[in-house]
A = this chain, B = another copy of it.
């Protein structure tokens, strides 16, 4: 089998033609697997795909309808299972608090493949055997914690399975074991910093080299803030449970976009209105097909995440294309008085202001018939001042910068540090108080 001919490092550097040949082979295998499931059997038959033989080129994938989150809900719990139940050794499920849950099944081989992708991702950021890896992502049904855990162990890092929360203990572990690598949400990294001094620690207590941040969209400014505050490298990452979890795409040490592991994930980007494919270099909704899983095949999954495929090759030598940081989910887009606004655009502006701390909140409410956008921020510890004129000037600058970016005049509130609720897991940064949106 050609897919076994390559070592991981070779796969990462395959020329595009060889990579495409490998993708096609794996796609055919995935189609065969998908046809076993009740859900895809019906879907694929309906468009005339009766076997893998009906897929002759990678472009033939366009014959297949997109799969959505709603499809996964409809197929719950067994409509997408492609192997005997006895072959499943793990499942991950979404919480289902907002409706029917979704579920992904993994065979042992699926887990091994996933682990290989996480090892590859960790290596891309410079992690190696002996590094101390403190995993501050939640362990359990959420894939963020346990996913990278397996890879880090396989790579031979010293894994501290800290899980999320308990900031005081996180600091103690970071100090006592001289943690080099943290895995956390960007919000939690900022939270850590904001509590460091008060809990009696300073940067010199630690041996931090890098943070792997993910699980929530964030701006380049947030990344830079984390790097500056901790004097470390922060690497952006991307994953979603439908595509296993963390390690769908990961930044390399160049930090210029995230390599999407194309031997494992077939990438498309589509216009979110016409749903037609867009060219590399053009922003669109990311659509993914997983090529390395037999438990639950998923074809052409609409991730709702907006990104741009970077057409240029990366100077690191990896040939897998990169995607730009996720701008936001199409679901996240706010329509404010008819204007499309992404929370990430607002974050970008306020995080450029050195006076502003690491926590903020975006509120949208109704004021009569109009929408009102309010941004609550905290002025950073050292910068906080009682000088009314300074505060007035700062507020005015933010309002102007925001208006220049999103065309909307927002109400900006400046508060003392600690005013806003602490964000620990996936941060909630947007509160939409309107009835319809």
Binding site for B on A (CB under 8 A): 76-77, 85-93, 95-96, 101, 103, 105, 108, 111, 129-130, 139-141, 145-146, 153, 156-163, 169, 172-173, 176-177
Query: Which residues does chain B contribute within 8 Å of A87, judged by CB atoms?
Result: 156
- What 17 additional pairs, Cβ within 8 angstroms, besides A86-B156, A89-B158, A140-B145? A76-B176, A77-B176, A89-B156, A90-B158, A90-B159, A91-B158, A91-B160, A92-B161, A93-B160, A101-B172, A105-B158, A108-B156, A139-B145, A141-B160, A141-B162, A141-B163, A146-B161
Query: Is A163's CB under 8 angstroms from B140's CB?
Result: yes
Q: Is the CB of A153 within 8 A of B101?
A: no
| Known contacts A139-B140, A141-B163, A161-B141; A91/B146 CB under 8 A | no
- Nearest residue, chain B, Cβ from A145: B139
Bound Cα distance A232, B47 (Å): 48
**A87 CA to B108 CA in the complex, in Å?**
25
Find A90's partner among B105, B153, B176 (CB 8 Å cutoff): B153
Point out the residues of chain B lying under 8 angstroms from A96, CB to CB.
169, 172
A91 near B159 with CB under 8 A, answer yes
- Contact assessment for A85 and B139 in the assembled complex, using a CB-CB cutoff below 8 Å: no
Q: A163 contacts which of B101, B130, B139, B159 (Cβ < 8 Å)?
A: B139
Q: A130-B86, A169-B95, A169-B96 are in contact. Are A162 and B140 (CB under 8 A)?
A: yes
**A192 shortest CB reach to chain B, Å:** 17
CA distance in complex: A95, B105 (Å):
33
CB-CB nearest in chain B for A91: B160
A139-B139, A140-B139 given; A159·B101 CB < 8 A: no
A56 to B193, CA, bound (A): 55
Q: Does the CB pair A89–B139 fall under 8 Å?
A: no
Complex Cα distance, B34 from A186, in Å, reads: 41
Residue from A93, A103, A159 with most neighbouring chain B CB atoms (10 Å)? A93
Closest B residue by C-beta to A131: B86
Report how far A177 CA is from B93 CA in the complex, Å: 11
Q: Which residues of B contact A177 (CB under 8 A)?
A: 77, 91
Complex CA–CA separation, A173 to B94 (angstroms)? 11
Residues of B contacting A90 with CB < 8 Å?
A: 153, 158-159, 161
Write 17 A-B pairs (CB below 8 A) sorted by A numbering.
A77-B177, A86-B156, A87-B156, A88-B158, A90-B153, A91-B160, A91-B177, A95-B169, A96-B169, A96-B172, A101-B176, A111-B153, A139-B139, A139-B140, A139-B146, A140-B162, A141-B163
Contact residue among B76, B85, B158 (Cβ-Cβ distance under 8 Å from A158) = B85
Query: With the chains together, A172 CA to B94 CA distance in Å?
Result: 12
When A139-B145, A172-B96 are in contact, do A157 and B91 touch as well, CB less than 8 Å?
A: no
CB distance from A299 to the nearest CB of B (A): 24
Set of chain B residues within 8 Å of A77, measured between Cβ atoms: 176-177
- CA gap between A140 and B169 in the complex, in Å: 13
Q: How far is the CB of A99 from chain B (nearest CB, A)?
A: 12
Name A87's closest neighbour in chain B (CB-CB): B156
Q: In the assembled complex, how far is the CB of residue A163 from the closest CB belonging to chain B, in whole angstroms?
A: 3
* Contact B153–A89 (Cβ < 8 Å): yes
Q: Are B92 and A157 in contact (CB under 8 A)?
A: no
Q: Which chain B positions have C-beta within 8 A of A89?
A: 153, 156-159
Contact A161 B173 (CB under 8 A): no
Complexed CA–CA distance, A160 and B141 (Å): 7
A161 to B87, CA, bound (A): 17
Query: Which B residue's beta carbon lies closest to that of A84?
Result: B130
